[in-house]
Amino acid sequence: MFISLNGQFLKKDEAMISPFDHGFLYGMGLFETFRVYEGHPFLLDDHLQRLNQGLEVININYRFQREETNQHLQELLKLNGLTNAYLRLNVSAGIGDIGLQVMPFNEPNILYFPKPLPQAGELVEKKAVILEQKRNSPEGNERLKSHHFMNNILAKREIGNRPDIEGIFLNEEGYVAEGIVSNIFWVKGKVLYTPSVQTGILNGITRQFVIELAKNKNLGVEEGHYPTEHAFEAEEMFVTNSIQEIVPITTFEGYQLPGKQGQVVQQLHHEYRHYCKHLWSRHFLGSE
């Protein structure tokens, strides 16, 4: 497998960065993960927009553009013989002296990591359980998709490696927050509910896309602070991320749910399939 490091294609065991990189020393780095469908990087514009906003926050002087980024990742996909893939784009702050740096980072390390994925298929169900581990508060005003992943790792240890379970965080105030690697949604009546970004969650790209999909289909959407009792009344529930897409939930803390038989889940999944091979941004929904 080949990866890309600062524009060079290297075998994965040949790639190296300095131990003085502040991404390693102090966690000063961001990443995006997205899925490539038949060669198309789904919602790439949205991923790059979030990445660029985060880079500004942590003072890394680099910005990504679609054309250049897509050209580079297409070369990487071709080199690895991939058309359906997981792609992680990572930006690490770069070399600096030991000590907390307040000046901008002007020479970050930029890495692309691909992994093969099968063609997208049918819905895959999971069970959801509430974690003992609480969702930590964001380091700044809003949670970034950063190298700071200890909270997620501790939560993952709590549930183990079972692929059919997703752990659901409550935040420090006891409100439903998000999954270990996902955002959470549930349906009551004709309304789709999801925790607000103000609960401390990551504003997932697939989360944002699903919200726009639902609105486009005249489904009510509410974002707020919800206790677990509100979620226990759900008629349907699912979690989302850019690699696993929409994942229906069959049980939530023992409460039975319809999983992939849910009407809203089926409708959103159908729409997801329609757009995943050509859409660059959720902002283009409805423009076709």
**CB 142, CB 104: distance < 8 Å:** no
Q: Are residues 249 and 151 in the same domain?
A: yes
Last residue of a domain, one of 93, 116, 139: 116
Within a domain: 278: yes
**CB 167, CB 154: distance < 8 Å:** no
Backbone angle region of 160, left / alpha / beta, with phi > 0 → left and psi within -120 to 50 → alpha: left
Within a domain: 58: yes
Confidence (pTM): 0.96
Within a domain: 258: yes
Within a domain: 112: yes
Burial class (CB in 10 A: 0-12, 13-18, 19+), 244: middle
Q: Are residues 158 and 177 in the same domain?
A: yes
* CATH number of the domain bearing residue 201: 3.20.10.10
Token digits for 21?
Answer: 């990189």
Within a domain: 121: no
Counting as low any pLDDT under 70, the low residues of the chain are 287-288
Within a domain: 10: yes
The confidence score (pLDDT) of residue 117 equals 96
Q: Are residues 149 and 268 in the same domain?
A: yes
How many C-beta atoms lie closer than 10 Å to residue 277's C-beta? 13
Token digits for 141?
Answer: 């005003």
Burial class (CB in 10 A: 0-12, 13-18, 19+), 284: middle
Angle between helices 66-80 and 44-57 (to 10 degrees): 110
Q: Are residues 18 and 133 in the same domain?
A: no
Q: Are residues 134 and 233 in the same domain?
A: yes
Q: Are residues 109 and 178 in the same domain?
A: no
Token digits for 128?
Answer: 């959801």
**Nearest residue to 35 via CA among 283, 241, 266, 247:** 241
Give the separation between CA 75 and CA 70, rounded to whole angstroms.
9
User: How far apart, in Å, do the first and last CA atoms of the chain sit?
Assistant: 37
Q: Are residues 138 and 219 in the same domain?
A: yes
The confidence score (pLDDT) of residue 193 equals 98
Within a domain: 156: yes
Q: Are residues 171 and 280 in the same domain?
A: yes
Q: Are residues 73 and 136 in the same domain?
A: no
Token digits for 152?
Answer: 């997620």
Q: 24 Cβ partners below 8 Å, 6+ apart?
A: 17, 92
* CATH number of the domain bearing residue 71: 3.30.470.10
Burial class (CB in 10 A: 0-12, 13-18, 19+), 75: middle
Q: Are residues 99 and 19 in the same domain?
A: yes
Last residue of a domain, one of 116, 145, 172: 116
- Greatest distance between any 2 Cα atoms in the chain: 56
**Nearest residue to 95 via CA among 143, 166, 26:** 26
Within a domain: 257: yes
The confidence score (pLDDT) of residue 285 equals 87
- Domains held by the chain: number: 2
The confidence score (pLDDT) of residue 121 equals 87
Give the separation between CA 283 and CA 278, rounded to whole angstroms.
13
Token digits for 129?
Answer: 């359980």
Last residue of a domain, one of 116, 137, 169: 116
The confidence score (pLDDT) of residue 137 equals 95
How many C-beta atoms lie closer than 10 Å to residue 149's C-beta? 15
Owning domain of residue 188 = 126-284
Q: Are residues 98 and 131 in the same domain?
A: no
Q: Are residues 142 and 259 in the same domain?
A: yes
The confidence score (pLDDT) of residue 154 equals 97
Token digits for 68?
Answer: 């250049």
How many C-beta atoms lie closer than 10 Å to residue 102's C-beta? 6
Give the separation between CA 221 and CA 253, rounded to whole angstroms.
24
The confidence score (pLDDT) of residue 287 equals 63
Token digits for 239?
Answer: 């979690």
